[in-house]
Amino acid sequence: MKKFSLVYIDDNLLNLEMFVDIFEDDFDISTLSNPLNALSTVKELKPDMVILDVHMPFKNGIQLFRELSDDVETTEIPVMFYSMDDSDETVSEALRLGPEDFLIRSMSASQIKARIMNRLNKAEENAVDEKKNLSCENLELNLEKFQASIEGDEVSLTSIEFKILYYILLNQEKRIPKEELIKYVWGETTVVSRAINTHMTNLRNKIKPAKFTIRINRHNQIHVVRN
């Protein structure tokens, strides 16, 4: 069974220690006591979920939640608040921001674990659903059926061409070194450069109606150019 990763942020060291003692068998937990460093730490660790205390000095949980939500690298990471403060004002203000849940410290450990696991499992299911299709402009890849289509019309690709196109579209916002693409498609097998060039030429001819082109620059980097 997968062990999800959590980052728990709380300025109270005792709270951090207690949380780890209770839940370390269930989750991979990283703790942070300084909220000022939280955003950079979450970006580095890329956890499955962030647990946030509400009342912290210098930067409270509400402020930190907004930072996490606004940053493109962390906006998709689920967040839960965790606090002793169960006042209607605090809970309502926090929930209006749209976290996954608001956990109260007085809840039993089993209830807290169940709430966290439910949200994490749901997030994982949604991620799997999103991965069933991959698209760029008017071209779509159906990853379940291994099919490509342009505006609904199926494009016949070989398994190698599909794998090449998949990796390029998966990384469509960056420039991919040719060696990286070759390693993804063929693994450690030695492949001559002209072989990938042939597959790329065939692929580009087949997807000409797409509203983007695939180019290789003089540095042997492959990238998507939208028309």
Exposure string for 134-150, b = 16+ CB within 10 A, e = fewer: bebeebbbeeeeeebeb
Q: Which residues, at least 6 apart from 59, have a Cβ–Cβ distance to it below 8 Å?
A: 35, 36, 38
Domain ranges of the chain: 5-130, 133-226
pLDDT tens track for 140-169: 999 888 899 999 999 999 989 999 999 999
Choose among 133, 58, 62, 51: nearest CA to 91: 62
Kind of pairing, strands 28-32 and 5-9? Answer: parallel
Write the CA distances from 183 to 48, 85, 165, 217, integer angstroms. Answer: 28, 52, 14, 19
Architecture per CATH, domain 5-130, reads as 3-Layer(aba) Sandwich (3.40)
Kind of pairing, strands 79-83 and 101-104? Answer: parallel
Helices and strands, counts by H and E, the chain: 8, 12
Residue 97 has pLDDT above 60, yes or no: yes
Choose among 164, 189, 179: nearest CA to 220: 179
pLDDT tens track for 48-86: 999 999 999 999 999 999 999 999 889 889 999 999 999
Distance, in Å, from the CA atom of 223 to the CA atom of 168, rounded to the nearest integer, reads: 7
CATH number of 133-226: 1.10.10.10
pTM over 0.95: no
For position 123, what pLDDT does the model report? 74
Write the CA distances from 37 to 9, 41, 142, integer angstroms. Answer: 10, 6, 40
For position 194, what pLDDT does the model report? 75
Residue type (1 letter), 83: S
**Share of residues in the chain with pLDDT > 90 (%):** 70
Residue 213 or 190, more confident = 213
